[in-house]
A and B are shown apart, each in its own frame.
Chain A
């Protein structure tokens, strides 16, 4: 009977083609294989966020009642604190995994032809993930969310001409308020997912099309010496094990360090002394601050923004500078650029945290 049912479905849905694909797909097995798991981890944390996000939608209300509805979730709804905590922790762990994934694919030169669109769709996904993080941060409308968003939306305002227009449109006025929360909510639960999910689909399709990328050290070996394991079941089981570890880490963090809800936002109260953005914005925050100190006034803000954007622009265009194994000196220069970016990111992040005043 199960076989009959399978045959009936197979004729109509083409299941065996998928099975064929899964059993024939091979995953390279070498000393850098550990980096193959980070993309899958991003997918896992994203799925957790979709599910917990839907659950939060059942009780969250944007606009005037935003803060009270989050307080209700945190204190009254059964396990509400847990669902919210998992959603927030998952966001942070996804961005962390995405950064590891980005840097590991960079140094494994996985952006080289014909994989350029994997690099670019990845850039799009990580950018959208950061906008997800920024917009989600405001939704509870506690004091930290209020002032962090105020600072964040002040940054585009320094760009001449269009900057103030962008900031005003994002805020829905001159000040952050219930209208801002309402539009950030629309962005967070509708606009961003409807951009993110198709882009993610394209990214995953391209991974299937081009297979896992093989790092240069493996490509140097003759084909006969390269080892592979079947995707199904061998790699899938390992992937599942990694997801299980991730689920345990996530549950532990969410329970032991439940996400806080500060006092309700109040524009008339001074901002908290240790006000700062989420860790994944700290580096760019510090770069802007450094330029602001070097060149006082609007010039410093503009220069900081320009240098930061130039760095990101070069990062995105890397497949053009280093298109294949014959890139030679350019290939090495791109690797050095990667080291520089890692160094600047780490140093400015630590610097930014060290510069924070102690919490009250």
Chain B
């Protein structure tokens, strides 16, 4: 009986080892279950994010017929993938396509015919209507510019 109290006996050591093993095994099984539950739940919640990434991956958009009919000194708003964008018809009959997402905090900017520039009402960011360059206000970067191809009344906008 006396050796039961002695922690150095082989039985005691084996007991200790078995306990550690069981703890590790229980932890591993628990982690497996957490993964088995967590993975489908994550994919389920993230499902629209995956859809948006697929839509956002477009490189070219064919605009509806109204786009070509945009009058001079006006803009046609459309979505490039998931993001708002604008097609500007200038007075000199040239066309420019730019993203409409303000580089400051992401509001949608609009074309101002009276000043012939792009203006974001959130914090007064102003951009050049031909180049997209940030000319006044808080925007840190110019607006991204797209390529415009006009073929027999069809407008195709593509990533530059």
- A residues apposed to B, CB below 8 Å: 55, 58, 76-80, 82-83, 247, 251
Contact = CB atoms under 8 A, between A and B. Distances in A.
Main secondary structure of the interface of B (DSSP, over half): helix
B41 A78 contact: no
A55 B129 CA distance: 45
Nearest to B40: A79
Interface stretch (B12-20, B45-53, B88-96, B151-159): B45-53
Interface string B125-143: 0000000000000000000
B79 interface: no
Contacts of B40: 78-79, 82-83
A55 B41 contact: yes
B43 interface: yes
Contacts, number: 27
Range for the number of chain B residues in contact with chain A:
10 to 19
Interface of B: 33, 36, 40-41, 43-47, 50
6 contacts: A55-B41, A78-B50, A79-B41, A79-B44, A83-B41, A247-B33
B122 to A, nearest CB: 29
B31 to A, nearest CB: 14
Contacts of B41: 55, 79, 83
Contact of A77 (B33, B36, B47): B47
Contact of A78 (B33, B36, B46): B46
Contacts of A76: 47
B142 to A, nearest CB: 37
Nearest to A247: B33
Contact of B43 (A58, A78, A247, A251): A78
A80 B45 contact: no
Contacts of B43: 78-79
A80 B45 CA distance: 9
A228 to B, nearest CB: 26
A352 B39 CA distance: 41
A2 B33 CA distance: 27
A79 B47 CA distance: 9
